[in-house]
Amino acid sequence: MPPVNFNMVSSGSKGNCSLIWDGDTLLVFDFGITMKRFRERLEKLGIEHKEYSLFISHEHSDHSRGVSMVKKHHRFDLYSREATLDALRFRDGFSIHDSVAIGNFLVKAISVSHDAADPVGYVIQSGQSRISVVSDLGIVSEELIRETKHSDILAFEANHDIEMLKYGRYPEMLKRRILSNHGHLSNEQSAEAIASITGTDTRIVLTHLSQENNTPDAAYSAIRNYLDNRNIVYGSIECASQEFGSAHYILEKD
C-alpha cells in the first residue's frame, strides 16, 4: 500500500482546502481558495496528478467559492450531498449519501450540525490509515465520534474562545449564531470531542480558528491541557492557519 499524504492548504473563515493523496489518486476537500494558491501548493508538494476528486462539505463560500473557477482549468469529479449541490447550482456533481470508493480510498460523509443545507464532515480510509476532516459544526454527535475514533490524522474545528467571543465586537445576532447548536465549536467543545476520538498516535490539526475570537496559543493550550490533564496520549497537535495551512503529513501503513 503506497503512503498516504495529508496537507491543509488553508483553514479559516477566508477559505478552506485540504489535500489527501497517494501515488495514484488526489482527493481535494473544499475549495474556498484561489486557483493560484491551489497550483502553488501542488507545485510545492510535488503533486502531479492531472485529475482529481473534489469533495465539498457545505455550500458556504469559504468552502466552495473556488469551484466555478477550477472547473475552467482542471478535470475533476465533484462530490457532495444532493442538497449542497443544489444550493451551489452544480448540476454535474455526484451525490454522496454514505460513502464512495476512489482508487485506494474510501470516503465517508458524516452529517454534522451547521446552518447549511446538508453539511458533512469526511472520514477517509486507505488500508489501515484513517484521516478525518471536520469543521463547521455546533455540536458533536455520537456518530461523528464513532466514525472518527482513532484517526491517524484528525483535522478538527476549534473555532473560538468563548470569553473572547462573548466580550468581542461581533454583533449579538452573530454571537448567538456561532454559539448555537448549528454554529461553531469552541476550544472547550473541541477539546472534549478530541479526547473521545484521539488514539495514542493521532496527529491533531486544529482548524477553522477565528481570527477575531481565538488565537493559536489559546486553541493549542486549551486542547493540550485538556488532554494532558486526563493523561490522554496523542501523537502531536498543531493549529492550521489561514495563510500557511498545516504541515505535510505522511502515513506509511500496510
**Using one digit for the tens of pLDDT, what is the confidence trace for 217-238?**
999 999 999 999 999 999 999 9
E-only strand ranges, 48-104: 51-55, 75-80, 94-95, 99-102
Give residue 253's pLDDT band: very low, low, confident or very high (50, 70, 90). low
Q: What is the pTM of this model?
A: 0.96
- Hey, how many other C-beta atoms are within 10 angstroms of the C-beta on 14? 14
pLDDT digits (tens, 9 = 90+) for 22-61: 999 999 999 999 999 999 999 999 998 878 999 999 999 9
- What is the three-class DSSP state of 126? strand
Residue 18 · residue 50 · CB < 8 Å: no
Q: Which CATH superfamily is domain 4-244 in?
A: Ribonuclease Z/Hydroxyacylglutathione hydrolase-like (3.60.15.10)
Q: Which of 129, 133, 123 is nearest to 96 (CA)?
A: 123
Q: Which of 244, 250, 229 is nearest to 8 (CA)?
A: 244
Is the pLDDT at 254 greater than 60, yes or no? no
Average pLDDT over residues 181-197: 98
- What is the three-class DSSP state of 43? helix
Distance CA 18, CA 33 (A): 10
Distance CA 220, CA 158 (A): 9
Residue 15 · residue 162 · CB < 8 Å: no
Q: Residue 136: what pLDDT?
A: 97
* Paired strand residues for 160: 186
pLDDT digits (tens, 9 = 90+) for 101-160: 999 999 999 999 999 999 999 999 999 999 999 999 999 999 999 999 999 999 999 999
Average pLDDT over residues 71-91: 89
